Structure 1
Amino acid sequence: MKIILIIACVVAGPVAFAQKISVKGQLVDSVQSPLPSATVLILNVKDSSLVNFGLTNQTGEFEVKNLTRQEYLFKVSYVGYSTITISFSASANEGVANLGIIQMRPEVKQLGEVVVEAERAPVVVKRDTIEFNATSFKTKDNAVVEDLLKKLPGIEVDNDGTIRAQGEQVQRVTVDGKTFFGNDPKLATRNLPADAIDKVQVFDKKSDQATFTGIDDGQKEKTINLSLKEEKRNAAFGTLQGGYGTDERFQLRASLNRFKKDQQISFLGMGNNVNDRGFGIDDYMSFTGGATRMAGGGRMRLEFNSDNQSGIPLNFGGRINGIMTNYAGGMNVNQSFSAKSDLNASYFYNQLEHDLNQTTERINYRANGDLRYHQNSKQLNTNVNHRVNLTLDQKLDSMNSIKFTNSFTYNESDANESSIGENYDSKSELENETDRESYAQGATSNLASSLLWRHKFSKKGRTLSSTLQFGVSRSDRDGTQSSTTQFYGAQPETLSLMQENLQRTEYFSYGVTINYTEPLGGRKYIEGNYSFRQNNNDVDRQVFDLISGESIFNNALSNQYTSAYQYHRGGVNFRVSRSNYNLVVGAGLQQTYLDGELKLLDAVITKSYQNFLPVMRFNYDFSNSKHFELEYETSVQEPTIQQLQPVVDNSDPLNLSVGNPNLRPAYEHNWRINFGTFNPMTFVSFFAVLETSYTRNAITTAQNFNEQQQRISQPVNVKDSREAFCDVSLSFPIEKIGSRVSVSANAQQVIAASVVDEVESDIAQTTIGGRVRYDYRYKDIFDLGLSTNISRQNTDYDFNEQANQSYVNQTYFAEANVSFAKHYQMSSSFEYLVYTSETTGETQSIPFLNASFSRFILKAKTGEIRLSVNNILDQKLGISQTADINFYQKQQANSLGRYFMVSFIYALNRQLNPMGMRPRGGMIRIMR
């Protein structure tokens, strides 16, 4: 880290170390009472331009540092008081200009609006909201919001667009508080221009029910709101981009927005074959088997409660392996018909084609000898998706309102895969091998609707609300597979399969939730709630063996299953609300019934679960910029229908999976402590979060091997599991060299049980990591960003100490932008990924280097011609590493190589800033 900071200081250029002075004093009113939170301005005597600024503290005192020795103007304005301007300078022998006590007089004459330009604080904490001033974090011209988020302290953005704020994944991004293309954050962050954003606000969005009643129900989403600049709120703006390069690479993008007072209309369009996605691909991943088939590079993880037989190898750095071509487009509309009626509607279409070649090396750790697995696979998958969202929020009168929410998706996919897999014993002798091909196609449709009715009584604080929910989905999928599997050892055997399968799944659900709140006086409230939900499933899977041209029904692999889950839950919450703290204490009782029928097996599954669910939430505001939060809640994780079905899935003959009808629900306790503070005088921010959980009857995946060394995965209950996570981040400026440093550290430990060959044993996984980012900015000419992210993970197995694993993943990143000769810009980025297995001594590193050169044309620099070189070092390999309950896995896959591209970018509405310059500061409006 020292090396990075030294490089940063060198690159930052010469810094003047002339003797500095400070100015300080105290601001009071006519009765000598202090005036806090006033903005004091230090201006140049010659032209009254802003030199520096500061804020008064709670006692009215201020101090502005790092001023060169010369004469200045001191200016302060405060609502309701006359503006004061004072000329000052420090004598030759003094380092401080003390203005003493400055008394402000009430304003007695009505004045018009006064606009004072001032640099705003980079970060402000407002109760539960962290607000970043976008103009304090420079991005290159024609950057998107994602580029801006990468600059903000406490926020991390993976290369796949996943956003984490203060250690939590961001689930929703809104624009001026309104929904933008449903719930896909990438559609906003990867398509809206960064220079349209005034503020970035990070907070936990509460449910509509909690917002209405004021009783926290624990349902919240980590949310980012993008507050637009004032001039963008009544204008058309956006970006058009087209590029073509070597190897027939192309990239097209359009983002057009027309915002007015009561209307927001946005259009997005894109197409490329350079692995650049501006949207989420959850439907595609769901069809193709998820991230197991999208594997990238390797943050290691432990998979305790997934029905995925092999865990999910996360992509370290978030890169997509393989070659992906995508086309997409859609429209989003927010319309306010009146003060009582708001409508949000959106439609989005996307088409993906993914070509992936992958090699997998896996070590299955066992007490009686490890098993090594090797696989080569090729995939070609396509996906077409339609999404429609519609929300109507209507106030019927002063006492009643309704909110009608609808979401519809339709997805068509097909997947082709071929693979060769081999298993070797601890002596490197071949145990078995398989050669298989598979094809699957299908279509899925989903509709989810809810109607929320809210009523306020004449007595303040008394409310009644009810939510009706309805959902229906249908999935039709068919496929074929053929495989030849050779088993060696004492009893050699060859197994050939040629099968076709058909599966139809229907899902139907409905429910109602009722909430009533009653004020008790003294800002105390009590809430009663009751909810009912019915989920019905109907699954029909038919497998046929193709023998001598005939289709023969395979009863053992087929499945016809119906189920009905019914939930009843009642609860009571008590709340105390004060100006600086809130307390919620409550409990609920949940009764669950499951009735299922396995028709082909002539078996019935009947379950009944009852759980007591206490909850407690407390938050305390020490000040407007210092906040503390403590939460405790309980939840139940019930087995899925797939986990309960005792039917074998043989899509991979060497890796079979089967359900478990004897599964019990997992009961989880969760604690969370969150603390955040920001100093408006020093611009130092600090955030910390601590989370811990304890799960009884935890659901994990048992791994058993038969005599032919086939791996059989099955979900089972274990006694318990424990998890603790901590994340802290600190950000501070270095004003002397125009820089900002952000430091974060995190630690996680998971302790649970693994089941291997029917033997249960403990497993512990500990991950410790940290991130450091250094940013330097010199006017609008040069900016530099340096960062490093390092994590180390240890996985310890009780059943076999020799299987213990230790990994270190490192990412080093540097980016720089230089603007020169008014119309030119150069940008470059370098990312260096290092994967190290301390257990095996193996280290692999991958460098990525990108560069671009731009020439701005047209009036106000609205046009840009860009020449870019991507992956200059031509690294065509992607890496992933995974540590799961009993195995270590490494995957390598094809990746996008080097290509050159020439692009033209046109920025709309740049004419509102005719000089083509980024604002140096914000506007503070003082009305008198």
Structure 2
Amino acid sequence: MKSAWLLILFAGFFVNSYAQNYSIKGTVLDTAGLPLPGAVVRIKSKTDSIGVSANNDGTFTIGKIKSKQFTLSAAFIGFDTFSKQYQIEKGNSLTIENIKLKPSSNTLDAVVISGVPPVKVTEDTVSFNAKAFPVRDGDAVDEVLKKLPGVKVDKDGNVTSQGSPITKIRVNGKDFFGTDVATAIKNLPADIIKNLQFIDDYGDQAKLTGIKTGEPEKILNLTIQEDKKKGYFARASAGVGNADRYNTSLRGNSMKGERQLSFDATSANANMRGGGGDGVTTRNAVGLNFKNEFSPKFSLDAGYNFNNDRNNTISSTYTQNILQGDGQNINRLEDAQNNNKSDNYSHWMGGNLEYKIDTMNYLKISPNFNYNTGIGNSTGGSLVTQDTLFTRRESTNANSSNSFSAKTNVFYNHKFAKKGRNLSSWGNINYSNSGSDRNAYNQYINILDSKTDSLIQNQLNNQDNNNLGLNVGVSYMEPLWHKTFIEVNYNWNRTSTNNAKETYDVTAGNQVFNPQLSNIYDYQFVTNKVGMNYRYIGEKLNYTLGLNAQPAVLTGQNLSRDIKTENRTFNLIPSGRFSYKFSNQQSIDVNYWGRNNQPGFLQLQPISDNSNLQNVITGNPDLKPEFVHSVNAHYKQADWNAGKVILANFRYERTDNKIVTTKARVPGTVNQLTSYTNTDGYYTIQGDYNISKPLSAERKFTIGYSGSGQLNNNISFTDDSRIEAQNISWRQELEFRVDLKDITNFELQTAYSQNLTSYSNTSFSNRQSNRFEYGIEGRNYFFKALTLGYDFSKQINTGFDNGSVRNPTLLRLSMEYKFMKNDMAAIRVEGFDLFDQNSGISRDVFDNVIVDKQVNRLGRYFMLSLIYRVRKFG
């Protein structure tokens, strides 16, 4: 009997071992020919039922099929399911003709791209579906960001969204590389990203209560595809070039579920990320980032960054100071050149610990540490002209500095059994210490009516500063009715500062203590704020109305001169927020809040600082605090059918008791006496918009319009005469983008901007500068492995009053060839700034001053690089 059973088992094994197996492969696409990653492909036969998901490029393979005849189905969200019978006629395998899924009739047109809307807007978030903006294999997140409407990425890796800088990046809601945005967007490969969410973050308290006031922080949150949360990615590159240029980097990323470890190291003297930034920089940098969800209750993210930057910046500055007094109008002109060298080291470490104690209690602790040291020196000269007066200043400065800061935030929230009722509390402690040593040598040569005299000033300054900040607060929220809530809060804040400055005059090698320029003082700033907010939450309409009462006390003691200062203020600070959702694709929000700004203690001290004889500064003990009224509005629209996106922002700010400068001319010299006073009439108006519209359903061609404008009413006083300088600046930009898969990606840009300053005194002529820009940036692909990159831009500037290169033409070319299995390696040849005209030109307007500045930037070089990549996800 046992022999019979063994015979049956052996026969079954023999038959099974020699049974014929078949395999099939194919690709799932949409009607536009774009792949549908993750599409579910199944086969069914009398003996089989097997299912797989399509790869990133839409391909799939199914093996070990036992029957030649089967039914194949393919499904994807937002598309009609495909089903067809097949039979393998010859051999053991079959290649299925491309399967093209049609959009479901009850789904929006935008799903032709990825099955979900490419853009989604909510009250505080604009979310982009990464699949709707595909990039090449091996590209990092920064290449996706360049395609998004309203988003800009400069050559240094700085990111702005709707004109606001991105200050922090998160991955799945956790901080990633702290505030080093440029490193973060280069560290993650684009094809593992699911969504890119640009969030107006009002803080932990606002997330839980919905009460949002003040200016939010703009944050980019990247969500990872679920099937890509397990794997690793590493990239190493090394490049050498002429003029002793080099650029090396190593970055890696390992993920397993919610655990993620990232590493980034760079050593380069080619300005690291593409030649942007002022001066020429050599950087050595290391970054580490770790995050993990150890349990459903406990999670941690932490990061460490080290930077060593050595920079050499050569600048040319032309300053126009509009003066009025004694019945006459005067232009004070300063033409200055400066050569500055610095060598700075910085260490940053920080993170967040989150503990969900239970369903009702939440605790978050966020420590943060910084340590910085630096040395620098500068040489320069300036020529000041005022009427028939001329003063030439030659200066040499050497300095060293160090600073340390430690900050910890603790936030706790308790939810009560009644829905909507909760209690929050928080506490912050912030300590910082900084010190500096500076040796300044200045020689002044004065020329008046052919008469010349000179003065030499050589001083040594030692300064030490200590700050301690404490903040505690509590908030209680109570639901009133179904859609309304009331919140009461209290916040106490205390900042104390101790500053010691010692100045020595250096004469014939001897150091003589200068009591007039030495100063030791303490001051404390204490506020108590009590507030109440009423909130309504509707399906379309949300609003919050609030009122805060804030008494504030600023006290100080000048220990060097036995001077005491006390300044008490009381402010009623209203706030309001209005949000209306017209539809799931369109919303608007309007915010108002008020805040007070206390004058700095040095601004209050009646002590003169004559370290610069051409501009002696004295404080004003009668200064009052400023009060700022701020209104902003945000409009968002995402037309999923047409793929069009419209984003617009508006901001108005008026400052009562604005602290402005007063200047008094010293007769017979070009010198000024500067102090401070309060005045009304200062305001600023800002606005910007961005419209992006694809010209085809596949987003092969996209056109974008964007613009911004700003109006500032600046106020200053010269010899008791009030001067209003109204500055208007605006910019209009047009972009046309082409994305043809495996052929080319490029963007044509053109822009025109203007900066106009006019004065309340009509005898002063208007100042105007204009800039016209155009360029093209992109990549062309040949034979799959060869890529040609190019970045061309041209500026035509008029109205600027300094600079040797007025209309720079910049051209950067690169060629990259991929080789080895899975394109693991690449060789890259690059030529940067081929016309050798890279320079930065800018205009800044404030008070009654116009500053035109030009700085050197990294010039022409050529580089050969080797790149190696390894990766595995899934």
Shorter-chain TM-score tier: 0.7 to 0.9
Q: Give, in whole Å, the separation in 1 of the partners of 2:261 and 2:76.
A: 38
- Indicate if the aligned counterparts of 2:714 and 2:847 stay in contact, CA closer than 8 A: no
Partner of 2:391: 432
Deviates more, 1:179-188 or 1:823-832: 179-188
Aligned equivalents of 2:458 and 2:313: distance in 1? 24
Name 1:593's counterpart in structure 2: 553
Q: Does 1:50 align with 2:7?
A: no
Correspondent of 2:670 among 699, 709, 723: 709
Q: Distance in 1 between matches of 2:114 and 2:504?
A: 74
SS at match of 2:851: strand
Q: Which residue of 1 aligns with 2:445?
A: 486
Which of residues 625, 641, 646 is equivalent to 1:686? 646
Classify the secondary structure of the residue corresponding to 1:275: coil
Following superposition, the deviation at residue 141 of structure 1 comes to 5.5
8 A contact 1:749–1:766 mirrored in 2: yes
Which residue of structure 2 lines up, in the alignment, with residue 362 of structure 1? 319
**2:415 aligned to which of 439, 449, 456:** 456
Q: Given that residues 742 and 784 in structure 2 are in contact (C-alpha distance below 8 angstroms), is that contact kept between their aligned partners in structure 1? A: no
Aligned match of 1:516: 476
Structure 1 equivalent of residue 270 of structure 2: 274
Q: How does 1:479-558 map to 2 (within 5 A)?
A: 479-489=438-448, 493-558=453-518
1:700–1:788 Cα change, 3 Å = farther
1:839, 1:360 → 2: CA distance? Answer: 9
- One-letter code of the match for 1:797? Y
Task: Give the equivalent residue in structure 2 for 1:623.
Answer: 583
Q: Distance in 2 between matches of 1:445 and 1:47?
A: 57
How has the CA–CA distance of structure 1 residues 636 and 390 changed in structure 2, closer, same or farther, with 3 Å as cutoff? same
Shift of 1:103: 10
Distance 1:471 1:422, change over 3 A: same
Matched-pair contact (CA < 8 Å) for 2:393–2:443: yes
In the alignment, structure 1 residue 611 sits paired with structure 2 residue 580:
no
Aligned ranges for residues 23-62 of structure 1 at < 5 Å? Answer: 49-52=29-32
Give a deviation string over 1:748-791, Cα, whole Å, max 9, x none: 21223222333212221112221211111222221221112321
Contact 2:385 2:670 in 1 (8 A): no
Shift, 1:340, TM fit: 0.8
The secondary structure found in structure 2 opposite 1:135 is helix
* 1:343 corresponds to 2:300: yes
**1:170-229 deviation per Cα after TM superposition (whole angstroms, max 9, x unaligned):** 222212221012233223124433344332111212311111223224462111112234
Distance across 1 between alignment mates of 2:799 and 2:611: 31
Q: Does 1:447 align with 2:409?
A: no
**Partner letter of residue 246 of structure 1?**
N
Question: Quick one: which amino acid aligns to residue 413 of structure 1?
Answer: G
Q: What value does the CA root-mean-square deviation take over the aligned residues?
A: 3.0
Matching residue within 791, 797, 808 for 2:759: 797
Bigger CA drift: 877-886 or 268-277? Answer: 877-886
Q: Distance in 1 between matches of 2:80 and 2:399?
A: 75
- The TM-score with structure 1 as length reference comes to 0.80
Separation (CA, whole Å) in 2 of partners of 1:79 and 1:742: 29
Does the residue aligned with 2:294 lie in a helix, a strand or coil? strand
Q: C-alpha separation between the residues in 2 aligned to 1:379 and 1:103?
A: 64
Residue-pair matches, total:
785
Other-structure match for 1:419: 380
The equivalent position to 1:723 in structure 2, one of 684, 687, 692, is: 684
Q: Secondary structure at the match of 1:389?
A: strand
After superposing the two structures, state which structure 1 stretch, 676-685 or 126-135, moved more: 126-135
- Among candidates 401, 405, 421, match of residue 366 of structure 2: 405
Tell me by how many angstroms 1:868 deviates. 0.5
| In structure 1, C-alpha distance between the alignment counterparts of 2:309 and 2:803, rounded to whole Å | 38
Q: Does 1:569 align with 2:529?
A: yes
**Residues 557/118 of structure 1: CA separation in 2 closer, same or farther (3 Å cut):** closer
Question: CA 1:363–1:140 in 2, change beyond 3 Å: closer, same or farther?
Answer: farther
Query: 1:792 Cα deviation (Å)?
Result: 1.1
1:603-682 to structure 2, matched below 5 A, reads 603-682=563-642
- Segments of 5+ residues of structure 2 without an aligned counterpart are 1-25, 35-72, 85-101
Q: Check if 1:222 corresponds to 2:222.
A: no
In the aligned structure 1, how far is the partner of 2:714 from the partner of 2:499?
33
Q: Which moved more, 1:798-807 or 1:508-517?
A: 798-807
What's 2:773 paired with? Answer: 811
| Contact 2:169–2:178 (CA under 8 A) maintained in structure 1 | no
Percentage identity across paired residues of the two chains:
28
1:626 partner amino acid: Q
Tell me which amino acid in the other structure corresponds to 1:550: N
Query: Is the contact between residue 355 and residue 381 of structure 1 (CA under 8 Å) also seen in structure 2?
Result: yes
Say which SS state the counterpart of residue 407 (structure 2) adopts.
Answer: strand
Aligned to 2:153: 157
| Inter-partner Cα distance in structure 1 for 2:224 and 2:454 | 65
> Deviation of residue 438 (structure 1)?
1.1
8 Å contact kept, 1:53–1:119 = no
Letter in 1 for 2:423: L
SS of alignment partner, residue 744 of structure 1 = strand
SS at match of 2:372: strand
Over 3 Å counting, the alpha-carbon distance change for 1:841 and 1:434 in structure 2 is closer
CA contact (8 A) 2:803 2:854 kept: no
What letter is aligned with 1:515? S
1:860 maps onto 2:822 in alignment: yes
1:776 matches 2:756: no
CA positional deviation for 1:347: 1.1
- Name the counterpart of 2:860: 898
Q: Given that residues 352 and 366 in structure 2 are in contact (C-alpha distance below 8 angstroms), is that contact kept between their aligned partners in structure 1?
A: yes
Deviation string for 1:617-641 (max 9, x for gaps)? 1112222211111111111122123
Whether the 8 Å CA contact 1:585–1:616 is kept in 2: the answer is yes
* Greater Cα offset, 603-612 or 231-240: 231-240
Q: 1:824 — aligned with what? A: 786
Contact 1:140 1:817 survives alignment (8 Å): no
State whether residues 669 and 693 of structure 1, in contact with CA within 8 Å, keep that contact through their aligned partners in structure 2: yes
The answer to whether the 8 A contact 2:302-2:350 is kept is yes
Say if 1:905 and 1:119 are closer, same or farther in 2 by CA, change over 3 A: farther
| Consecutive unaligned residues in structure 1, runs of 5 or more | 1-45, 55-74, 87-98, 105-114, 279-317, 914-928
- Using a 3 Å threshold, how does the CA distance of structure 1 residues 466 and 743 change in structure 2: closer, same or farther? same
**3-state SS in 1 of match to 2:358:** coil
Change beyond 3 A, Cα 1:614–1:758: same
Rate the CA distance shift 1:135–1:907 in 2: closer, same or farther, 3 A.
farther
Where 1:780 maps in the other structure, the secondary structure is coil
- 1:703–1:137 CA distance, 2 compared to 1 (3 A): farther
Gap change, CA 1:555 and 1:529, over 3 Å in 2: same
Classify 1:646/1:628 alpha carbon distance in 2 versus 1 (closer, same or farther; 3 Å).
same
Distance (whole Å) between structure 2 residues aligned to residue 529 and residue 358 of structure 1? 49
Does the residue aligned with 2:535 lie in a helix, a strand or coil?
strand
- Which structure has more relative contact order (CA 8 Å, sep 6+)? It is 1
Q: Residues 218-241 of structure 1: CA distance to partner in whole angstroms, max 9, x if unpaired?
A: 462111112234443211113211
The structure-2 alpha-carbon separation of the partners of 1:146 and 1:757, relative to structure 1 and needing over 3 Å to count, comes to: farther
**For residue 92 of structure 2, what is the aligned residue in structure 1?**
none
Q: Is 1:380 matched with 2:341?
A: yes
Q: How does 1:120-269 map to 2 (within 5 A)?
A: 120-139=116-135, 142-218=138-214, 220-269=216-265
What code does the residue aligned with 1:716 have?
T
For residues 588-624 of structure 1, what are the alpha-carbon distances to aligned partners after superposition, in whole Å with 9 as ceiling and x for unaligned?
0011001101122221111001111011111122222
- Say which SS state the counterpart of residue 712 (structure 2) adopts: strand
**Helix, strand or coil at the partner of 2:835:** coil
Larger mean Cα displacement after TM superposition, 831-840 or 697-706: 831-840
Deviations 1:560-583 (A, max 9, x none): 110011110000001111232211
Match of 2:426 in 1: 467
SS of the counterpart of 1:209? helix
Whole-angstrom distance in 1 between the partners of 2:713 and 2:500: 38
Alignment check: 8 A CA contact 2:187 2:253 kept? no
TM-score (norm 2): 0.85
1:123 alignment partner AA: V
- Partner of 1:844, secondary structure, is coil
SS at match of 1:370: strand
Structure-2 residue corresponding to 1:788: 750
